[in-house]
Amino acid sequence: MISVLTAFFVTILWSSSWVIIKFGFDSISPLSFAAFRYGTAFLVMVPFVFLKKNRAQIKLLDKPIFAKIAIYGLIFITFTQGLMFLSLYYVPAITVSFVLNLTTIMVLFLGAIFLRERPNGVQLVFIVFAILGVFLFFYPFDFLGMGIIGLVFVTLTLIANSFASILGRRINKDSKLSPFIITTISMGFGSIALIIAALLVEGVPSSLSFTIIIYILWLAVVNTAFAFTLWNFSLRHLKAVESTIINSTMLPQIVILALLFLDELPTINGWIAITIIFISAMIIQVYSSKK
């Protein structure tokens, strides 16, 4: 029971990040915000690498796995997180969350190609439901009114997140490294590249307000480093199906938080589509985790 509550608490922290990010855009540009968050989180996590149990893990690193983790960091931190911040800058949080929940479907297709993991009949049925949900959510397809640049960023985020999921699963499957070591190394490479990108695109921030510093520290220390540690603790005691279901609750959580704090209100079509995607994605993930 404690593990379930802990995992659910972590999803609440992660979901709240979306609201904090939206608030932060009043004081800082998106790429700089992302760079500060993950750069700071990396600095917080680095000292723990030198703990005895983690030093033993470092000895397991060889050049091929190190290169894979570095690439994973570039895809998951630099591209996925950088693009997600850009998406949230231009598009409502509910829309971004809705699209990113399609990662499950995208990963299923990519898994069939790269990991030879074929979807079963139930998964295929709910993939069809999910596609119908997407059409319903965006109907009547007023993409110009929604902002083309935002939708481009959201689509690229979905693609990057899907490839990151595939590569992350491959690394965890092929190596004996702990998730903490993989996350810390990948975050190091990804955050450095993200900082460089932010400097090239947005330049050096003129100043940081006290509020944005608090946002950055909270997101980096609490919602990233601390939340990741708690999540790993919960995974020691939860079955894969249980963690999958708990993680799936982030979509309705983000919808509720966006309603309360961001004044985002889905249409009737939107509510139905969100329900369809939530149920479809969760069932697909449950069947995948059972494998």
172 half-sphere exposure, CB direction, 13 A CA radius: 12
Average pLDDT of the segment spanning 133-152: 79
More confident residue, 2 or 150: 150
Q: What percent of the chain has pLDDT over 70?
A: 95
What is the pLDDT at residue 62? 81
Q: Cα–Cα distance between 136 and 142 in angstroms, integer?
A: 12
Residue 228 has pLDDT above 80, yes or no: yes
Q: Which band of pLDDT confidence, cut at 50, 70 and 90, is reported for residue 167? A: confident
pLDDT of res. 203 = 92
Question: How far apart are the C-alpha atoms of 122 and 119, rounded to whole Å?
Answer: 8
What confidence tier does 15 reach under pLDDT thresholds 50, 70, 90? very high
Q: Report how far residue 97's alpha carbon sits from residue 100's, in angstroms, rounded to the nearest whole number.
A: 5
User: Residue 284 — pLDDT band, cuts 50, 70, 90?
Assistant: confident
Query: What value does the mean pLDDT take over residues 19-45?
Result: 95
pLDDT for the residue numbered 92: 93
pLDDT, tens digit, 9 for 90 and up, residues 75-99: 999 999 999 999 999 999 999 999 9
Position with higher pLDDT, 1 vs 13: 13
Task: Name residues whose C-beta falls within 8 Å of residue 48's C-beta, 6 or more positions apart in sequence.
Answer: 54, 180, 184
170-175: average pLDDT: 77
Cβ neighbours of residue 43 under 8 Å, at least 6 residues apart?
Answer: none
Question: Rounded to whole angstroms, how far apart are CA atoms 72 and 79?
Answer: 10
pLDDT tens per residue across span 203-216: 998 889 999 999 99
Report the pLDDT averaged over residues 233-249: 77
| Nearest in space to 99 (alpha carbons), one of 130, 67, 139 | 130
CB atoms within 10 A of CB 31: 22
Q: Is the pLDDT of residue 145 over 70?
A: no
Q: CB of 168 within 8 A of CB of 107? A: no
Angle, CA of 172, 105 and 79, to the nearest 5° = 60
Q: Average pLDDT of 121-126? A: 82
Q: Where are the beta strands (DSSP E) in 7-75?
A: none
Q: State how far the Cα of 53 lies from the Cα of 43, in Å rounded to an integer.
A: 19
